Amino acid sequence: MFKIQRVLFAVLALAGNTAAFTNPGNANVLSSHRTGLAAFGGKAKATKIVEPEIDEDVTMFDSIAEPVGDVAVLALRLATCSLLVHHGFDKIQNVDGFSANVVAKFFGFLPGPPSFWTLSAAATQVAGAGLLTVGILARPVAFSMMCTMLVAVIFHLLNTGAEGFPLAVVPQHSYNYELAAMYVGVLAYFAAAGAGAYSVDEAVLGGELKLYESGIKKVFGGDEE
């Protein structure tokens, strides 16, 4: 009986080698024959070792960098709002002066009384600073605040020009539009990226963008997943 098995094994192996040589697609058939014969002859079946996949994008610093980055975004948000809010209070206390010297003088083409635009900018900066501080509807809030500071940049450029930007050394040690331009840059970041992990948008409302998506689906009757 043992000799018959050996002869059968030799015949099938020879046939399989010939088939694999003439048609590479039959290599799987040969492997199947060999596996079956090995089991029939009582030999151990070879096992394929699968190596675990390694994510090359993950580094040893990720577990530290991510929370540190979240805290840094929170600090930037709080600092920006605490420094910007007084610009709104200043407009409220000096409505007539700001309306006459800024709005009417440089933006006289705007419809309505200049005081309306002064109080609108003040409300945006005060209310916006409060909302962005806690991180509620951060993107549209930051965008509206950014627009007020962009208008401030335009005002300074119209009033004093570029002042030799970027290499000139000015007597007051900074360009008149410099602070407003920095606010524009920071607020543009929050308008694009949101308030970050430590905010009402993310921690309470489940994500700012998801909130907008849910609202749009409710208004326009989109399919709920």
Q: What is the average per-residue pLDDT within 93-106?
A: 96
Supply the DSSP symbol for 57.
Answer: T
The number of C-alpha atoms within 13 Å of 154 and in the hemisphere containing its C-beta is 11
Q: What is the average per-residue pLDDT within 5-17?
A: 52
Q: What is the average per-residue pLDDT within 158-181?
A: 94
pLDDT at 61: 86
Cα 86 from chain centroid (whole Å): 29
- Cα gap 154→105, rounded to integer Å: 13
What is the full DSSP assignment across 184-220? HHHHHHHHHH-S-SSSHHHHTSS-HHHHHHHHHHHHH
The more confident residue out of 116 and 63 is 116
Round the average pLDDT of the chain to a whole number and report it: 84
pLDDT at 45: 55
- Cα gap 142→191, rounded to integer Å: 5
Residue count of the chain = 225
Q: Which of 38-52, 97-111, 186-200 comes out lowest in average pLDDT?
A: 38-52
Is pLDDT of 17 > 90? no
What is the full DSSP assignment across 152-184? HHHHHHHHH--TTTTT---TTSS-TTHHHHHHH
Return the CA Rg of the chain.
Answer: 35
pLDDT at 19: 45
pLDDT at 58: 82
